[in-house]
Amino acid sequence: MNILITGGAGFIGSHVIEHHLNRGDEVVAVDDLSTGNRSNIRDFERNPRFRFVPSDITDYPELDHAVRAADRIYHLAAVVGMFRVLREPVRVTQVNVCATEHLLETIAAAGHHPQVVIASSSSVYSHCHSRDLREDDELVYLPRQGGLTGYALSKLTNEIQAMAYREEYGLQVTIPRLFNAVGPRQGGNYGFVLPRFIKQALAGETLTVFGDGTQTRSFCDVRDTVAALDLLAGNSEAAGQPVNVGNERETCILDLARLVIERSGSRSEVEFVPFDQAYGASFDQITQRRPVGERLRSLTGFRPRWTLEQTIDDLIDRARGATEQRAA
Ligand SMILES: NC(=O)c1ccc[n+]([C@@H]2O[C@H](COP(=O)([O-])OP(=O)(O)OC[C@H]3O[C@@H](n4cnc5c(N)ncnc54)[C@H](O)[C@@H]3O)[C@@H](O)[C@H]2O)c1
């Protein structure tokens, strides 16, 4: 299969590349390296079935050609991460909304119908009050509260764009709503909590918990996320509807910090930092995000294979291995 991945040098994208190269596919990844990193894909660049295109997708002259050559397209390029989203709200619109429209337009015009995966996000649930989040829940937005609403709405717009192109052009498009992927190659610079905690614990520094730490998230190992994306992409019944992709286990951020300290054997302490100090005064905290995975299960039979403890242990081993390599 010929695979095209936008945002391929990013965290999830690099695992999608690995997944498909391991399966013998040909992979092209496009990325402007704004939050992605060449080091994420360095190992793949030696593979003759892999090609990296360093380009901004809002200005990628070969897009039409790349789309025509693809049997499957993963559209993952987006402005992401709390810090970047709060700092660059206009770029959120330009990349997340306009570039997605242009990509879908190009696919529709190409006349052949590759499988298309448009990455949505659990952020679309925004201020939804349900304890457990289902795809058909009513969505509640409070636009005056916090810059993150722009990101959430950009992802909801992506869902609507994908459905529109399915309706009018019959595109084979799936719309995973991704919930907190974690795992190797996720950077801590843009507000992602687990890599930050691991770095702090291994350095013997204080783990900084934003707010009081009672806010919960459901963390899904990225290798499970990618397996689910693969199952969805190839499933015609899944097309045209949002599908939660995540792990149903819920963990509060304080417990996550304690788990990292325990699994790493660190002596670090925990310190609480008010949200407004971490993210600025306009920040609006989401207290809970747990997916109901029924739709994904019934469409694909998907079950996560990684526990949170296994992911944390793997990340700690890799971080220690890298430190030892540097010291040798
Ligand atoms: N990681 C998660 O838990 C999570 C949760 C919900 C949704 N998502 C979605 O999954 C996708 C991938 O996220 P990720 O966590 O891997 O983030 P990431 O930042 O690691 O990956 C995004 C990639 O897109 C690239 N990119 C950004 N703008 C670009 C542009 N104009 N042209 C080309 N490349 C561009 C970045 O350089 C980066 O490599 C995103 O669409 C994100 O919204 C991720």
**Ligand 1 atom at shortest distance from the alpha carbon of 12:** 16
pLDDT of residue 149: 87
The pLDDT, as a whole number, for residue 50 is 98
- Residue in 124, 107, 123, 226 with CA at minimum distance from that of residue 170: 107
Domains of the chain, CATH where assigned: 2-180+222-247+291-305 (3.40.50.720)
Alpha carbon of 154 to those of 20, 78, 138, 145, 180: distances in Å?
28, 10, 17, 16, 17
Over residues 228-260, the pLDDT tens digits come to 999 999 899 999 999 999 999 999 999 999 999
Residue located nearest, by CA, to atom 31 of ligand 1: 56
* Greater pLDDT, 145 or 31: 31
Instruction: From the CA of 13, give the closest atom in ligand 1.
Output: 16
| Contact indicator for 155, 93 with CB cutoff of 8 Å | no
> What's the angle, vertex CA 311, arms to CA 1 and CA 201, rounded to 5?
135
> Average model confidence (pLDDT) for the chain?
93
The residue assigned the tokens 């989401």 is 286
Ligand 1 site, CB within 6 A: 6-7, 9-13, 30-36, 56-58, 76-80, 95, 99, 119, 121-122, 178, 180-181
Residue 280 has pLDDT above 90, yes or no: no
pLDDT (0 to 100) of residue 328? 72
Residue closest via CA to ligand 1's atom 21 equals 10
Tokens found for residue 41 = 């894909």
Give the residue, by CA position, lying nearest to ligand 1 atom 40: 76
In this prediction, residue 148 carries a pLDDT of 80
Q: What is the average pLDDT across 154-181?
A: 97
Q: What is the pLDDT of residue 211?
A: 92
Residue 312: HSE in the Cβ half-sphere, 13 Å Cα cutoff: 22
> Which residue out of 80, 92, 117, 308 has the highest number of ligand 1 atoms within 8 Å of its CB and is therefore the one to mutate?
80
304 C-alpha to ligand 1 centroid (Å) = 22
> Does the structure show a pLDDT above 60 at 143?
yes
Measured from the CA of 182, which atom of ligand 1 is nearest?
3
Name the band, by pLDDT with cuts 50, 70 and 90, for residue 188. low
pLDDT tens digit sequence for 7-40:
999 999 999 999 999 999 999 999 999 999 999 9
Q: What confidence category does residue 159 fall into, taking pLDDT thresholds of 50, 70 and 90?
A: very high
Nearest alpha carbon, ligand 1 atom 1: 181
What is the average per-residue pLDDT within 54-69?
97
Atom of ligand 1 at shortest range from CA of 123: 6
Band the pLDDT of 187: cuts 50, 70, 90: confident
Among the residue ranges 65-74, 98-107, 143-152, 284-293, the one predicted with the least confidence is 143-152
3-state secondary structure of 4: strand
Ligand 1 atom closest to 151 (CA): 43
Residue 182: pLDDT band (50, 70, 90) is very high
pLDDT at 242: 98
Distance CA(124)–CA(141), nearest Å, equals 9
Q: How far is the CA of 269 from the centre of ligand 1 (A)?
A: 31
Q: What is the mean predicted confidence (pLDDT) over 265-289?
A: 81
